[in-house]
């Protein structure tokens, strides 16, 4: 089941990773100080256009819920940015789509989602801050049918074999999960190849003390202090590993960390479906569990946001109850 969708998603994410790597290699270190976000903006738009265009050709009846829209690019003052985006998309394809075609592909990603039918979910560059720092980021593509995630691919171009290793030219992994079929991983190095897919599984450890957990780098996205209190309550005493993007879900899926906690410092923040759909199935098909902070399953039927959920707890299953209980105690649920 979903064989052609799986093959499609893997090759689309691989092509997207090539765009990201090319754009990222051009980020000058001084642009980090100037807070110049243009490289990530170019890559964000170009990846959404590329994957959306490929989807329109291969699965024309499927809608797309993507993070980006083309309004900003259509403005007269955005001509330079628009030209860079179009050039990246053209370089990634055998034909030369016009600027209007590229903008329309981006806008195809403005679908509303919801409880019925079949649609894809795309975060063209998840972890934009990590991308600019030349650290971790992910291309996240998922397929949802009638509110259930059926397929997810995470492309992590900078993820080393283990988080204890530095990222380098050999880094890069792709993760793919299909409902009922498990999760697989393959090397996706910068040379453009995709290694052999092999099954991965979460850690079987139920010992919180020896367990490693992960969390966002950005304290604006996840409250480090409160999460430390939850971890302490759950007796997870190890230092958390911080990394950007849904690469966090990947580290849980491959057994490298046992838990990924996400608690926005802004209690009114609604998590977006493109930040979690692919990651959720990658973890659950590897044997883990993903819920919100109250222990409720993620509800992908509510459109572009996870309006019925708050925060995320993703674990190896064995430690899930313990973390949910600790969260309830610390947050007073």
Is-catalytic flag, 44? yes
The interface with ligand A3P within residues 47-106 (CB under 6 A) comprises none
Radius of gyration, CA atoms only, the chain: 19
Is-catalytic flag, 128? yes
280 binds ligand A3P (CB under 6 A): no
In angstroms, the CA 173 to CA 243 distance is 15
Pick the binder of ligand A3P from 62, 123, 135, 285 (CB under 6 A): 123
Closest CA to 311 of 327, 329, 330: 327
Say which of 41, 62, 107, 128 is annotated catalytic.
128
What residues have CB less than 8 Å from 141, skipping those under 6 apart?
9, 12, 13, 51, 120, 121, 122, 152, 153, 155, 278
The interface with Mg ion within residues 88-147 (CB under 5 A) comprises 123, 126
218 binds ligand A3P (CB under 6 A): yes
68 binds Mg ion (CB under 5 A): no
Pick the binder of ligand A3P from 256, 275, 280, 285 (CB under 6 A): 275
| Minimum distance of Mg ion from residue 124's CB (angstroms) | 9
244 binds ligand A3P (CB under 6 A): yes
| Minimum distance of ligand A3P from residue 202's CB (angstroms) | 19
Size of residue set near Mg ion by CB under 5 A: 3
Closest CA to 233 of 313, 117, 164: 313
What residues have CB less than 8 Å from 256, skipping those under 6 apart?
162, 163, 203, 212
| Minimum distance of ligand A3P from residue 255's CB (angstroms) | 20
Closest CA to 141 of 198, 41, 71, 67: 67
CB atoms within 10 A of CB 22: 16
- Footprint of ligand A3P on this chain (CB under 6 A)? 123, 126-128, 216, 218, 220-221, 244-245, 264, 266, 269, 272, 275
Q: Please give the positions annotated as active site.
A: 44, 128
């Amino acid at each position: 089941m979903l064989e052609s969708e799986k093959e499609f998603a893997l090759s689309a994410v691989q092509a997207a990773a090539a765009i990201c790597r090319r754009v990222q290699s051009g980020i000058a270190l001084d642009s980090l100080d100037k807070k110049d976000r243009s490289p990530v903006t170019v890559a964000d738009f170009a990846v959404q256009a590329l994957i959306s265009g490929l989807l329109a050709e291969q699965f024309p009846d499927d809608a797309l819920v993507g993070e980006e829209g083309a309004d900003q690019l259509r403005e007269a003052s955005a001509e330079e940015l628009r030209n860079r985006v179009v050039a990246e998309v053209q370089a990634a394809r055998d034909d030369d789509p016009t600027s209007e075609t590229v903008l329309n592909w981006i806008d195809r990603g403005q679908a509303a989602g919801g409880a019925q039918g079949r649609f894809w979910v795309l975060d063209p560059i998840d972890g934009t801050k990590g991308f600019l720092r030349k650290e971790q980021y992910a291309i996240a593509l998922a397929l949802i049918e009638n509110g259930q995630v059926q397929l997810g691919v995470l492309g992590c171009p900078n993820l080393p074999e283990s988080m204890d290793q530095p990222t380098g030219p050999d880094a890069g992994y792709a993760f793919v999960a299909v409902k009922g079929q498990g999760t697989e991983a393959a090397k996706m190095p910068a040379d453009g190849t995709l290694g052999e897919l092999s099954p991965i599984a979460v850690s079987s450890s139920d010992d919180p003390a020896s367990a490693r957990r992960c969390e966002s780098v950005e304290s604006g996205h996840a409250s480090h202090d409160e999460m430390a209190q939850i971890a302490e309550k759950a007796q997870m005493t190890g230092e958390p590993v911080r990394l950007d993007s849904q690469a966090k879900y990947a580290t849980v899926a491959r057994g490298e960390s046992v838990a990924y906690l996400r608690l926005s410092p802004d209690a009114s923040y609604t998590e977006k479906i493109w930040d979690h759909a692919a990651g959720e199935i990658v973890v659950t098909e590897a044997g883990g569990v993903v819920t919100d902070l109250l222990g409720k399953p993620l509800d992908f039927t509510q459109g572009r946001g996870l309006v019925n959920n708050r925060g995320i707890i993703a674990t190896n299953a064995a430690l899930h109850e313990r973390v949910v209980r600790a969260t309830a105690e610390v947050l007073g649920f």
